[in-house]
Amino acid sequence: MLTVYFDHNATTPLDPRVLEAMLPFLTGRHGNPSSAHAAGREARVALEQAREAVAEALGGRASQIVFTGSGSEANNLALLGSLPLQPQGGRGRVLLSAVEHPSVLEAAEALAERGYAVERLEVDALGRVDLERARARIGPDLALLSVMLANNEVGTLQPVAALAGLAREAGALVHSDAVQALGKQPLAVRSLGVDLLSVSAHKLYGPKGVGALWVGQRVQLRPLIRGGPQEDRRRAGTENLASIAGFAQACRLFAGPELKAEQARVRALRDALVERLRSDVPGVRLYGDREEGLANTLSLALPHLAGDELLVLLDLEGIYVSTGSACSSGSLRPSHVLLAMGLSEEEARGVVRLSLGQETRPEHVERVASVMASFAGSGTR
């Protein structure tokens, strides 16, 4: 049976070239980048080379990169480390889109405990923040705006550059969670105009458990993890050099010049799948913005099948997808993203996410389309 991994937004397989870049640091080169001897100095050089590569992928400078233990940690550091401990100077409001990842939403709850007023920006039926409605919510009392670049569940891209322009004009800091965008969508911190940007290696064929926060010069970052001089005193703890070297290699391979061609290839495969489903699966419903969205992502529901039933049926056929976001799988709570887009709870429970990747070939698309066509009309909903 042909196995089809269509869950690249949850995580991606480690690319063999990334593994190769990591292995020296797991075998012979064990120096600590903070040590003064030759082995330590060699590790320091490798760490700084990796920082350069990640910075280049984001269009920033190496000194602006703080390595973290995940994208979730980068999001927490951005929100909790960039604002004063209590609201100051009349800036007490924090604005988030309603479709952010839980690591942003829950970090914002901690800001609320410190006295900030946390508000959510509504999205339209495609999952996008409306610029004009956002404009009315941005004023001199705004401390921070956090809006993700690309949504993990439906792939919709947000107008981050325009929102950042408005928020910065009002004197607020701007953060964007670009965890799903890096490696799938060209991006540059300078043209986005943000102050903080989060990324994670395992979404672009790098190792799990390593991320980074890009920090612009307007930000005075307070560390969340204290107790050492690492990362320019912005994140204590001996660096995970093997994973960081892997992250750097993933950036060179997947967030560089080859990205656009790969994006077009994956988009063509995803769109071919849409065509097949539209013709062979009567009543299929599609969600999110495929034009202005991630090329690899497809959010859909089949008539009469709940999302968790569909996931199990596909799993039995060797096809791996997820319901809503991977992080909330296993819980019966419908996705907050789909609810924010205006779906009813029942409709939201029907949705599954397919996310394609670099190993995806036409035969995978063909298999998924024919299996789904065989399910249409079955189910209990």
Ligand X SMILES: Cc1ncc(COP(=O)(O)O)c(C=O)c1O
Catalytic residue numbers, as ranges: 327
CA distance linking residue 48 with residue 159, whole number of Å = 32
- Determine, following the binding rule CB under 6 A, whether residue 180 of this chain makes contact with ligand X: yes
- C-beta of 69: minimal distance to ligand X in Å? 8
179 binds ligand X (CB under 6 A): yes
CB of residue 152 to ligand X, shortest distance in Å: 3
CB of 63 to ligand X, least distance (A): 23
Q: Which stretch binds ligand X (CB under 6 A): 32-40, 70-78, 160-168, 316-324?
A: 70-78
Q: For ligand X, how many residues bind (rule: CB under 6 A)? A: 15
Minimal distance in Å, beta carbon 75 to ligand X? 6
Closer residue to ligand X (CB): 103 or 335: 103
Give residues 71-100 in contact with ligand X (rule: CB under 6 A).
Answer: 71-72, 75
- 211 lies in the binding site for ligand X (CB under 6 A): yes
- CB nearer ligand X, residue 152 or residue 296: 152
Binding to ligand X by residue 243, rule CB under 6 A?
no
Q: Does 177 bind ligand X (CB under 6 A)?
A: yes
Binding mask 304-333 for ligand X (x = CB under 6 A): -----------------------x------
Site string for ligand X, 131-150 (x = CB under 6 A): -----------------x--
Binding region for ligand X (CB under 6 A): 70-72, 75, 101, 103, 148, 152, 177, 179-180, 200, 202, 211, 327
